[in-house]
Amino acid sequence: MDKTYDQTKVEAKWYKFWEEKGFFKPEVNPDGKPYTIILPPPNANGALHFGHAMYTVEDILIRYHRMKGEASLWLPGSDHAGFETQVVFEKQLEKEGKSRFDFDRKTLYQMIWDFVQNNKGTMEGQLRKLGFSLDWSRQKFTLDPEIVKIVYKTFKQMFDAGLAYRGLRLVNYCTRHGTSFSDLEVLYEDRTTPLYYIKYGPLILATTRLETKFGDTAVAVHPGDSRYQKYIGQTLDIETVLGPAKIKVIADKAVDPEFGTGVIKVTPAHAMVDFEIGERHDLEIRQVIGFDGKLNEKAGKFAGLRVKEARVAIAKEMLEKGLIEKIDENYQNRVGVCYKCGTVIEPLPMEQWFIKVATLAKQAVENVKKGEIKIYPKNWEVTYFHWLEKLKDWNISRQIVWGMQIPAWKNKKTGQWQVTEGEAPDGPDWEQDPDVFDTWFSSAQWPFATLQAGQPGDFDKFYPTSVMETGYDILPFWVIRMIMVGNFVTGKIPFKDVLLHGKILDPLGKKMSKSKGNVVDPIEIANQYGADALRMALMYGNAFGHDQALSHSKLQAMRNFTNKLWNIGRFIIDFKPEDAASEISKHEDDQDILNQLNKTTAAATKALDTYRFHDASGSLYEFIWHEFADKYIESTKNRRAEAQPVLEYVFRTCLELLHPFMPFITEELWQKLPHKEESIMVSKWPEKVI
């Protein structure tokens, strides 16, 4: 054996061997009970980031259950990531001095398609580099034709069931990127914003948004507020920067008497709560901010100004006319922004497609309360219930090109809408909705769609899946929606266990982001320390579900552990005396190490069965380095021939226990050991030692 371990001679060799032999397919254990994990599909628009290295959790589970003789399927795929990918592509166009508006829809779509296909190969190579034992023969892409058919069919089913509907609602709109978002995708930032106390006739009210006042169609007070009882139902004469106007006073329980003066202006076209108040009181929806982020003609002389500059100009003129009583310059509020560009989100009225979530959410709550779906760590159940209880109807329309165009057609003559499973209605008067589905709508169907579009019999055998493992920050965006949609379409839960891992932070404990320039490439780390050391470092010493900072000291420690394994292997494998014992001895030290191995095997098995990856990796590390290497191996140096069978047996078992965590070096060393039973790979999980 070489004196030092060189991963460059090992990793690519064994991955190629495993893949070519078909060891990643569930058919390797054709009679085993099914065990399934669907890979959370990484975005197909670029390389993996370090967070994707946490797929190690899924690989550990798949290799473990495969070694236990189960028909284990880990199905890979990639997500077209509609809005995210179009933003990335538009940035590329900007560098070339172009924009999306330079191309027609068909051309732009094809350009993005080619861009994505070029990037997918890079990502797949990275997954292989990290040792992930995915069944590549079953690989899927969210825009595969058979996947699109399933998504279209689901939409039609939901439409027919009254769950999918088209309606005029306020949507969260990014005026820079020109698309709407669901409520879950809006980021909120704490800001200091001027709070203006403005005069509306005899009433004073507080607002941060002077620019929307041209869309006011009422002022409102709480029906129980004794200060304003005499005004309820009255129409007030008020003075504005555009001249005299009239406005009605209404009473609504949505008004907080403690905010400002207890009076609010109601702008149904530009505030979510105001829209709901407007519906209850049949108020006009008067839009004054356009989809370009500028005030429109209803703003009079302020038309054409962007929101921020309009607010300043309006405040200046209102002050000059004595229409502002006072300004609180230090008002703290939360402002919704686009999660990609930071532009302030404008609530704007649009006709969109929505999914009714009330009944779906109720069932998803019951799935967890009844124990049909278990969430690990358990403390995330509280967050799960919280999101489902506050969930509003889901806006699934996106005003972009990249994605699945919604299979809904409008009759140009009658205005009637018709939803299909993708085919155009008969006749020349039908025009397809130009919007595409929210990416989360298609990915919510990923567990059943991948299997339904797969090999014959896969859905019946492997669904519901066993585990959905992903970051805890994806719980509201994806996990909740997979459960809701999976229940509706299949009548079954999509998975039995939900595992939520923590974030990988940079070495200073900061969130990694491209804008901060602190994103770490997992492949660079794998090249530096070895894929095995990287995988082990992610599991060792960090309770599952907790955030952890990328630690080079821990990575180096696991690289040292890799070297320790190699040196143990050299000590044991290179010793081949003619008079070596052929059977396990009864020496006290030999029996003691075997007993300890038995306990370690039981501990590692229990830990993996309960998703305590840190306990499993920790017990293996401690046993191999300290009990086996430091103590037992040292004690055998004066009786090597007698102890050799025990040394080989314990080391072989240790390699098998470690294999799900560190597949490359364990395979390399395992292959060099003698074996009584014929096998061409590490394939069995130790259950009971001698």
DSSP string of 576-642, one letter each residue: --TT--SS----HHHHHHHHHHHHHHHHHHHHHHTT-HHHHHHHHHHIIIIIIIIIIIHHTTTSHHH
Above 70 in pLDDT, residue 273?
Answer: yes
Question: What's residue 380's pLDDT?
Answer: 97
Q: Answer whether residue 289 shows pLDDT above 70.
A: yes
Q: Does domain 7-156+441-525 have CATH number 3.40.50.150?
A: no
- Cα 398 from chain centroid? 19
580 has a pLDDT exceeding 80 = no
Q: Write down the pLDDT at residue 494.
A: 98
Contact 115, 92 (CB under 8 A): yes
Q: Mean of the pLDDT values across residues 587-601?
A: 95
List, in sequence order, every residue forming a beta bridge with 250; answer none if it has no partner.
220
Answer yes or no: is pLDDT of 690 > 70: no
Is CATH 1.10.730.10 the classification given to domain 531-672?
Answer: yes
What value does the mean pLDDT take over residues 550-563?
Answer: 96
Q: What residues does each domain of the chain span?
A: 7-156+441-525, 161-173+349-437, 180-346, 531-672
Per-residue pLDDT tens over the stretch 36-90: 999 999 998 888 889 999 999 999 999 999 999 999 999 999 999 999 899 889 9
* Residues in Cβ contact with 601 at an 8 Å cutoff, skipping those fewer than 6 apart: 653, 657, 686, 687, 688, 689
At 158 the pLDDT is 98
Distances (CA, A) of 675 to 210, 211, 645, 653, 679: 80, 79, 11, 11, 8
Residue 345 pLDDT more than 70? yes
| Beta-sheet pairing, 495-501 with 465-471 | parallel
Residue 515 scores a pLDDT above 70 = no
Supply the pLDDT for residue 77.
96
Provide the residue type at 74 as one letter: W
Q: What is the mean pLDDT of residues 292-320?
A: 96
C-alpha span between 505 and 502 (Å, rounded): 9
Residue with tokens 């889901």: 394
3-state secondary structure of 471: strand
CA 540/CA 538 separation, integer angstroms: 6
Average pLDDT over residues 301-305: 97
pLDDT (average), residues 261-286: 96
Give the per-residue pLDDT at 578: 58
CATH fold for the domain made of 161-173+349-437: Methionyl-trna Synthetase; domain 2 (2.170.220)
Mean pLDDT lowest among 148-162, 385-399, 510-524: 510-524
Instruction: Look at 582 and 454; give whichever has higher pLDDT.
Output: 454
581: pLDDT strictly greater than 80: no
pLDDT at 577: 60
pLDDT mean across residues, the chain: 94
What confidence tens digit (pLDDT) does each residue in 666-683 have?
Answer: 999 999 998 877 677 888
**Percent of the residues in the chain that have a pLDDT greater than 70, as a whole number:** 98
> Taking residues 565-580, what's their average pLDDT?
84
**Mean pLDDT, range 384-410, rounded to an integer:** 95
pTM, two decimals, is 0.92
pLDDT band at 205 (very low <50, low <70, confident <90, very high): very high
Question: Which CATH number is associated with domain 180-346?
Answer: 3.90.740.10
| Cβ atoms 419, 155 nearer than 8 A | yes
Domains 7-156+441-525 and 161-173+349-437 share a fold: no
